[in-house]
Amino acid sequence: MNVYKTKGKVSDLEAFVSPKDVSGTIGIAHTRWATHGEPCQANAHPHFSSSKNLALIHNGIIENYATLKEKLQKKGFIFKSSTDTEVLVQLIEFFQLSNHLDLLTAVQLALHEVIGAYAIAVLDKNNPDEIIAARKSSPLVVGIGKDEFFLASDATPIVEYTDKVVYLQDGEIAVIRRDKALEVVNLDNVLQNPEVRTVEMNLGQLEKGGYPHFMLKEIFEQPDCINDCMRGRINADGDKVVLSAVIDHKERLLKARRFVIVAFGTSWHAGLIGEKLIESFCRIPVEVEYASEFRYRDPVIHEDDVVIAISQSGETADTLAAIELAKEKGAFIYGICNAVGSSIPRITDTGSYIHVGPEIGVASTKAFTGQVTVLTMLALTLAKEKGSMADEKYLEVIRELTVIPAKIKKILISNPKIAELSRIFTYAHNFLYLGRGYSFPVALEGALKLKEISYIHAEGYPAAEMKHGPIALIDAEMPVVVVATHNAMYEKIMSNIQEIKARKGKVIALVTEGDTVISKLADDCIELPETLECLEPLIATVPLQLLAYHVAICKGKNVDQPRNLAKSVTVE
């Protein structure tokens, strides 16, 4: 059994193995995101057992690996890496050799000893026509092709070869054998009856389509994505929005004491916008929490609470754990997700897909605007059912929402100007992003995009908070991005800009088309089409995505695969 692994990108591995004979009919591979042990060749997967008969790849965290490792070391096992994964493959071999067991039984016994999350695939040199794969709290998909099988964390890399997949459930083990049907059992060897699903995915969405990077392609896809998100949910006359999940469960949603939104990262920023939309339209109190903080702080949750869980991948580990906690306490769970068939849609009471298609770039773009669009439609649908929103305002928001895609297209025409502007600011080591009201989450999202892909330190703040600390950082070397559109906060944000300029800060202002006041104060301006204040995040975010993209490109960074980040955070 041959094992090839390198530190770095997949392209580095490709260059390493290209001169070698890697032909075969069975194999496993893994791109590791380091949890235990530094990113290096020794810690890369697959990992061998001591006899080198077993090889294993693993996504997740074995929480009791130190205890298991100590027991195995006392029995004479020697470890060559500092990973928790090597402990698992050694444990499987221990059971296999001690009791003369087949691989499946040894895997089952080993997994009974494991505390933590895992998605694994194991090969046995002595049985080269079989792969054993298992999952717990980490996604694993089996693709079923013609005389072939595939394993992956989600369906995206599989659909090029087959549209038939099985999503393994927690505690399930897939037994994949040459020339035999897929068999799925649980840890106690009870045969399961998995559902074979058909994945509908446009293969063109998995290609760059003439763009230099997936991120830029996905930024430019946003007008079409928002239209796809609204399709079938807003009627042809543009005077009614219906989210079926809300209508089907309106009694439960309308009697909610409060809504609690749990999410991470970009999805958390979308949740902050959702908070404002739901409170404004529906007059229901909303709290927004990081899923990890929510699950560990013993939250007070009542049976008349509604928890909205937002995740692009549908597999975010802490968000899944937060959902389970809320379910235990009797809350009603509403999921907002992009990945069809992922874990969140399967464990929530109801929910809505954002329908933006696969997002390949690690830094989320179109998923954010899709999430905000769904949250807007959720708030509108619920407000209509509750009668908490004037008919005129309801119609105004719907009609403006339907023209947002055209307004984003107008912004995208400014891409060359934003690219030119970005060159001026590649020198910066720090950025500050400011916004008020609906624009505060936009500032947070803009700062996140910049730090994710350019590695420039950036922070987002409510503009009024600037005087309570961040203003101490402002000088001639500090670019400050200000969302300064013409809304109810216009005069306030203008004062903030004057305070920045008084300290020689460089201001990049996002202004409404035709603005002649702030455009004279700011060093540079990016114009946005006029829209309703509650919908401004959908258009104001786009130029900030482009700014981050072009700054990163000017600095020579890999925008699609930024360092240390993973597209789907499936470990805690």
Q: Which residues pair with 166 in a beta bridge?
A: 142
Beta-strand (E) ranges in 350-502? 350-353, 430-435, 457-462, 479-483
* Per-residue confidence in pLDDT tens, the chain, 572 aa: 778 877 777 777 788 777 877 777 888 887 756 565 566 766 777 888 889 899 999 988 899 999 999 999 999 898 888 888 899 999 999 999 998 999 999 999 999 999 998 999 999 999 999 999 999 988 899 999 998 999 998 888 888 899 999 999 999 999 999 889 999 999 999 999 999 999 887 777 778 888 999 999 999 999 999 999 999 999 988 889 999 999 999 999 999 999 999 999 999 999 999 999 999 999 999 999 999 999 888 899 999 999 999 999 888 889 999 999 999 999 999 999 998 878 899 899 999 999 999 899 999 999 999 999 999 999 999 999 999 999 999 999 999 999 999 999 999 999 999 999 999 888 899 999 999 999 999 999 999 999 999 999 999 999 988 889 888 889 888 899 999 998 888 888 999 999 999 999 899 999 999 999 998 999 999 999 999 999 999 999 999 999 999 999 999 999 998 887 765 555 55
- Phi, psi at residue 230, to the nearest 5°? -85, -20
And the tokens for 224? 């079409």
CATH for the 413-572 domain, from 3.40.640.10, 3.40.50.2300, 3.40.50.970, 3.40.50.10490: 3.40.50.10490
Per-domain residue ranges for the chain? 10-198, 214-409, 413-572
Q: What is the pLDDT of residue 30?
A: 77
| CB neighbour list of residue 126: distance below 8 Å, 6 or more residues apart | 53
Q: What is the DSSP letter of 168?
A: P
Q: Using an 8 Å Cβ cutoff, are 110 and 91 in contact? A: yes
Q: What is the pLDDT of residue 206?
A: 77
pTM for the model stands at 0.85
And the tokens for 268? 């958390």
Beta strand 332-337 pairing with 305-311: parallel
Instruction: Please state which CATH class domain 10-198 belongs to.
Output: alpha beta
Common-topology check for domains 214-409 and 413-572: yes
Q: What is the pLDDT of residue 553?
A: 96
Q: What is the pLDDT of residue 159?
A: 86
Question: Is domain 214-409 annotated with CATH 3.40.50.10490?
Answer: yes
Q: Using an 8 Å Cβ cutoff, are 302 and 404 in contact? A: no
Cα distance between residue 288 and residue 274, in whole Å: 9
